Amino acid sequence: MNGKNIVVSLLILISVLAGLTWYAVSIQSTPTGPSLEYKNNHYGFRFVLPITWERYTVTTATWKGYAVDSEGEVPAEEGPIISIRHPLWAVDVPRQDIPIMVFTKAQWDSLQQGKFHIGAAPIGPRELGRNNLYVFALPARYNFAFPVGYEEVDIILESNPLRTF
């Protein structure tokens, strides 16, 4: 090989390595490989999901918090709970959703001070992240019935997939 061929070969090799490096860095990954993302612009968060969740759906409901000293059915606080649902979820075989409770910072502070409670669990929701306006949390005992897919959701949650903006 002459000097010109060596230089051209090295430039090609460097270009290929640079391209592969860029590709590897640009792919969002979970511990199990490539991923996709649920983005919620209204509340300001993203949630990274494995590619196996492609075609996921999102459902919304309302969480309710009751004053510690009340015996009535009137909630002291309430807010949204956004559930990311696996694409294989079916009525006859429901799978574990990924529920994300949304609290204002004031609601979260009141909950931490014991001014209200959510459900009968002896522990409260677990914080997943926060931005300037909201705190995002996982309900206590969200997987208490051990539905199909609860192990996968646990693995997803271990990777700290929630990112705020």
pLDDT digits (tens, 9 = 90+) for 9-57: 554 544 444 443 333 333 343 445 789 999 999 999 999 999 999 999 9
pLDDT at 29: 39
Could you give phi then psi for residue 26, rounded to 5 degrees?
-80, -20
pLDDT at 21: 36
Nearest to 134 by CA among 99, 91, 84, 100: 100
**In this structure, what DSSP letter does residue 146 have?**
-
Report angle CA 25, 28, 32 to the nearest 5 degrees: 110
**In the chain, domain spans:** 1-30, 34-164
pLDDT at 24: 36
pLDDT at 133: 98
Q: 145: how many CB neighbours lie within 10 A of its CB? A: 9
**In this structure, what DSSP letter does residue 153 have?**
H
Give the helix, strand, coil percentages of the chain, each rounded to 5: 25, 35, 35
Average pLDDT per block of 10 residues along the chain, 165 residues long: 60 44 36 84 98 98 89 85 98 97 98 91 93 97 93 97 98
